[in-house]
Amino acid sequence: MLPRALRGWVLPIVLVVLWWAAVRFGWSNSPLLIAPGKVWQTAVEQFASGKLFAALGASLWRDLAGFAIGASAGLLFGALLGASRLAEKLLGPSFHTLKQISLFAWIPLLSVWFGLGDAAKVAFLSLAAFFPVVLNTFEGIRSVPADLLEVGRVLRFTRVQTWRKVILPAASPSIFAGIHLGLIYAWLATLGGEYLLVSGQGIGNTMVDGREHFWMDLVLFGVIVVGLVGFALNWVASRIEARALAWRGGSVAQF
């Protein structure tokens, strides 16, 4: 038996060895079967020529811009729905209906309204981040325990104090979960936007390019980059989350 830490490496290594063997011994003569080394060369070339950074920079910039717009709008809207029963009754049903529409179905409409450029993509990304943030903010605020609000009332907190010291801290785990989801959706939408609104630069365009020219190495490299970026965004989000929620400490673990 292997030590636990090494077990996870077995399957990936077996796969790479199989891949290498398939190329080395010519198991298939498809032009799509390229050597692992070729992917590495492409990676080095993309790094050295700066193409990767140009494409990735364009994608990430759009991703973050759209995410920032969508998440802040989502926070405000979610807080409104959470704080006011009237707002929830007036706007909630419309929101939940719109939410049902599959995200990517918006793209053709957005492309008519905003063109094929960055404006349409950023609008689409903010929509992608908006929905999960609203939902989680709303649920977070709604599930603030009534006891906490009563304590706030006993201490004669002003409205601002109630929000800053009671509601937001109590709702923060759910709000952060929403922001985290929004970040993941925005990254998915970044790719979708680049495939469907084909203009300009981006990592999605790089992959579309590779596919059209049957450059398997470029496509595989793109898949790896997309995975790494998704992983990095996830990691950053969970770090920030852990940091921001550190004050909650091990309160759960004490029980």
Partner 1 sequence: MSAVPITRRSAPLAPPDLAAWRKLLPSAPTRRQLRDKLLAWPVPLAVLLLWWTAARFEWIAPQVLPSPEAVALTLRDSLVSGELWANLQISLVRVLTGFGAGLVGGLLLGVAMGLSPSFKDYVYPLFKAFSQVPVLGWLPLLMLLVGIDEALKIILIGKAALVPIALNTCKGIQGVPTRFIEVARVLRFTRWQMLSRVVFPAALAPIWNGVRYGLTHAWLTLVVVELLASSEGLGFMIVYGRQLFQLDVVLAAVVVVGAVGFALDKLLALVEVRLLRWRKEAF
Which spans of this chain sit near partner 1 (rule: CB under 8 A)? 1, 4, 7-12, 15, 32, 86, 89-94, 97-98, 100-109, 111-113, 187-188, 191-192, 195-196, 204, 207-208, 210-211, 214, 216, 219-220, 222-223, 226-228, 230-231, 234
178 vs 204, which CB is nearer to partner 1?
204
37 vs 92, which CB is nearer to partner 1?
92
User: Contact, 98 vs 167, CB < 8 A?
Assistant: no
101 vs 151, which CB is nearer to partner 1?
101
Minimum separation from the CB atom of position 2 to partner 1 (A): 8
Minimum separation from the CB atom of position 157 to partner 1 (A): 29
94 vs 254, which CB is nearer to partner 1?
94
99 vs 164, which CB is nearer to partner 1?
99
Find the distance separating the first CA and the last CA of the chain, reported in whole Å: 36
Q: Which run of H or E residues covers position 189?
A: helix 168-196
Minimum separation from the CB atom of position 193 to partner 1 (A): 10
127 vs 167, which CB is nearer to partner 1?
127
Distance CA 51, CA 54 (A): 5
Minimum separation from the CB atom of position 64 to partner 1 (A): 17
Minimum separation from the CB atom of position 18 to partner 1 (A): 13
Minimum separation from the CB atom of position 111 to partner 1 (A): 7
Token readout for 127 is: 């929509």
